[in-house]
Amino acid sequence: MMDNFSYSRPATLKEAANQLGKEHGKIAVIAGGTDLLGEMKDNLAAPERLVSIRHIADLQGVRASASGLRIGAATLLADIVENPMVQERTPLLAMAAGKVGTPQIRNMGTIGGNLCQRPRCWYYRNNFPCYKHGGNTCFSAAGENDFHAIFLGGPSYIVHPSDTAPALVALGATARISSGSRERTVPMDKFFVTPREDVRRENILLPNEVLTAIEVPTAPAGSKAVYVKEMVRETWDFALCSVAAMVTVKDGIVADARIVLGGVAPIPYRVAKAEAALMGKPLNEASAAAAGLAAVDGARPLAKNGYKVPLTQAVVKRALLSLA
Amino acid sequence: MANDDREKSERSVSRRAFLKGGAIATGALSAALIPAVGAEAQLPDAVELDPRHSTVALKVNGVAYRKEIPNRTTLLQFLREDLKLTGTKMGCDRMQCGACTVIVNGRNVYSCTTLAVEAAGGEVLTIEGLAKDDVLHPIQQAFVEHSGYQCGFCTSGQIMSTKVFLDRMPNPTEDQARLALSGNLCRCAAYKKILESVMAASRLTRA
C-alpha cells in the first residue's frame, strides 16, 4: 500500500504551478497516474502531496493551430488515437499512441505522462540503489541487461520506454513548459536528457515546471509515415525496439526522411545516418536495407542485448519498405 | 484443511472488527480533543483534521455515495472495502492483469491504479451494475452460455472491457475483439472461450 499523502485538484495551471513551487521534491504532479501510482506502490516515490492536473481545462484536448495541432499534455492517449485531426494531419502520432499499453492504459494515461514516464529498467523498478535512485552504479552494465540500451548508454543504460516520443521527434514537435510565471518552448529532440547530461532524470523539466502542451506540425504534404513496435509478445508490452519513420518521396526519389528509434537508447534516438542513406534514392529494397544497416552503425550492445542490433536493422528496413 | 480455513477466516474477521473498533475509538479521541463549542454540527470534520483525507462523492451503478477516505485509497479498495462491492477483483494491483477493470465515465480503466479521489465526481459501472434484477446482461449471458472462464477470477474484468467495446463497436471482427480485450489476462488461458463469448455477446446485444 502507498504511504498516504495530501491531495489537491487545482482548477487552473497557475494555481497548480504555485503549489509546485512551495516544497521542492515533496510534491508530485499526477495526471493519468499510471506511472506515478505504480512507483508509489513500489516505494520508488513517496510524495507528501499530489497535485492533480488532469482536470485543468487548458491542458485538455486537441486543437488546430496555425502550423498544425496543439495537444494539451493531459489529453488521454485514447483521445489522441481516435481524434480525426490527429489521424489526418499527424497520423504517425495516432499510430504510436495506439501502440501504448492496453485499451485501459490508453483510457487512463495522458500524452504528457507518456513522455515523462520513468524508466522500466528492472533494477530501477526493484529499487536497487542505482544512479537513478541517487546511487553510484548502474547494475545493468554488468548484470541482466537483456532489455537495455545499445546506443548512448553510460553511465546508466536505461532505454526510453515511450512510444509517442519517437513519433513526436520525427514529426518535429515542440514541448510547451510552464512554471506558472515562466513559459518556455523546447523542440522535442531537446526535451529528453541523456544519462551523460544528467543521470538522475530523463527530461529537462524542473521540479516546479509542468509540461502543458505539445505542438505538432502537420506532416509535410506527400509524406508517408509508420510506427513499428517490436515486443516480446504481440501486444501489451514496452518496445524491444521501435521505429518512427516519416518519408517524403518526390519524383521517385526520397526528398526527406526522419527515422527515430525507441527502446534502444535512453532517449528517442534519431538516426541521421539512416536518413542520409535514403536521401536522393528511390525507396526500395536496396535503399531500405542500406538504411537499416546505417541505423545500427555505432551500436554498442551489452553482454545480453546483442540481439537488438539485427532486430533494429530489420525493423528499420521493414518500416521503410512498408512506405514504399 | 477446511477447519483451518474456517479458523483463519474467523480470525481475520475478528481482527477486522477489532480494527474497526480502533478506528472509531481514534475518531472519538480526536473529537474529544477539540474544544467543545456547543452543537455537535459545529465540530470540524475529518478533512480539516487530516489533510491526507478527502470526502469523495461518486456514483456507482447509479447510486450516489459520499464518504471520507484516505487519499491513497484506490478506486478498487473503495469499491471492495468501503462499498463492499466485491465483484471487482484485485489481481496484480499493478495494472498488468485487468481483473480490476471497471467503467468510469464510459471508459474501461484499471481501478487498482485509479485513485478514488481522482474518480470523484464520476460515474462508475461495475459488474454488479449489469444485471437488471434477476436478468443477466446479454454479455453475462453469453459468458455463461459459452463458458468464457475457468476459475472466473478475471471474468468481471473481461466482461467490463467487453461492455465498453461492444457499446462502441457492436459488430466487431474477432481480431478487433482480441485487441479490445488485450488488457485483460486470463491465467487459466480460457482465451478461446472468452473470444467466443464476446462474439456471441455481440450477436445477443444486437438482437
How close B51 comes to chain A (CA, Å)? 5
Of A179, A188, A166, nearest to A316 by C-alpha is A166
Is B108 in Cβ contact with A107 (below 8 Å)? yes
Residue A110, pLDDT > 60, answer yes
ipTM score for this prediction: 0.96
Cβ-Cβ contacts under 8 Å, B54 against chain A: 7
Confidence of residue A18 (pLDDT cuts 50, 70, 90): confident
Residue A237, pLDDT > 90, answer yes
pLDDT, tens digit, 9 for 90 and up, residues A150-206:
999 999 999 999 999 999 999 999 999 999 889 999 999 999 999 999 999 999 999
pLDDT, tens digit, 9 for 90 and up, residues B92-141:
999 999 999 999 999 999 999 999 999 999 999 999 999 999 999 999 99
**Domain locations in chain A as residue ranges:** 223-321
Spatial CB neighbours of A221, under 8 Å, sequence gap ≥ 6: none
How close B3 comes to chain A (CA, Å)? 30
pLDDT, tens digit, 9 for 90 and up, residues B178-199:
999 999 999 999 999 999 999 9
Q: What is the pLDDT of residue B48?
A: 53
Q: Tell me which residue has cell 475518531.
A: B27
| Beta-strand relationship, A68-72 and A210-217 | antiparallel
CATH class of A223-321: alpha beta
Is A104 in Cβ contact with B161 (below 8 Å)? yes
How large is the average pLDDT for residues A95-119?
98
Residue B39, pLDDT > 80, answer no
**Domain locations in chain B as residue ranges:** 1-44, 138-206
How close B189 comes to chain A (CA, Å)? 15
Q: Tell me which residue has cell 443477466.
A: B136
Residue B14, pLDDT > 50, answer no
CATH class of B138-206: mainly alpha
Cβ-Cβ contacts under 8 Å, B47 against chain A: none
Of A187, A188, A186, A185, nearest to A164 by C-alpha is A188
Residue A23, pLDDT > 80, answer no
Q: What is the pLDDT of residue B50?
A: 84
Confidence of residue B49 (pLDDT cuts 50, 70, 90): low
Report which of residues A158 and B40 the model is more confident about.
A158
3-state class (DSSP) for residue B164? helix
Q: Mean of the per-residue pLDDT values for chain B? A: 84
Residue pairs between chains A and B whose CB atoms are closer than 8 Å: 76
Radius of gyration of chain B (CA): 21
Please list, residue by residue across B52-71, b when 16 or more beta carbons sit within 10 angstroms of its beta carbon and e when fewer do: bbbebebebbeeeeeeebbb
A110 interfacial to chain B (CB closer than 8 Å): no
Interface of B with A (CB under 8 A): 51-52, 54, 70-72, 74, 93-95, 98, 101, 107-110, 113-115, 117-118, 161, 164-165, 179-180, 182-183
Q: What is the pLDDT of residue A24?
A: 64
Is A54 in Cβ contact with B118 (below 8 Å)? yes
The answer to whether the beta carbons of residues A81 and A99 sit under 8 Å apart is no
How close A186 comes to chain B (CA, Å)? 30
pLDDT, tens digit, 9 for 90 and up, residues B65-101:
999 999 999 999 999 999 999 999 999 999 999 999 9
pLDDT, tens digit, 9 for 90 and up, residues A117-162:
999 999 999 999 999 999 999 999 999 999 999 999 999 999 999 9
- What is the C-alpha to C-alpha distance for residues A259 and A166, in angstroms, rounded to an integer? 8
Q: What is the pLDDT of residue A207?
A: 86
Per DSSP, the residues of B6-65 read HHHHHHHHHHHHHHHHHHHHHHHHHHHHSPP-SSGGGS--HHHH-TTEEEEEEEETTEEE
How close A1 comes to chain B (CA, Å)? 8
Q: What is the 8-class DSSP label of residue B80?
A: I
3-state class (DSSP) for residue B121? coil
How large is the average pLDDT for residues A301-320?
98
How large is the average pLDDT for residues A240-262?
98
Confidence of residue B27 (pLDDT cuts 50, 70, 90): very low
Of A241, A254, A266, nearest to A316 by C-alpha is A241
Q: What is the pLDDT of residue A1?
A: 81
Confidence of residue B6 (pLDDT cuts 50, 70, 90): very low
Confidence of residue B28 (pLDDT cuts 50, 70, 90): very low
Nearest residue of chain B to residue A41 (CA atoms):
B94
Q: What is the pLDDT of residue A268?
A: 98
A137 interfacial to chain B (CB closer than 8 Å): no
Residue A25, pLDDT > 90, answer no
How large is the average pLDDT for residues B22-41?
38
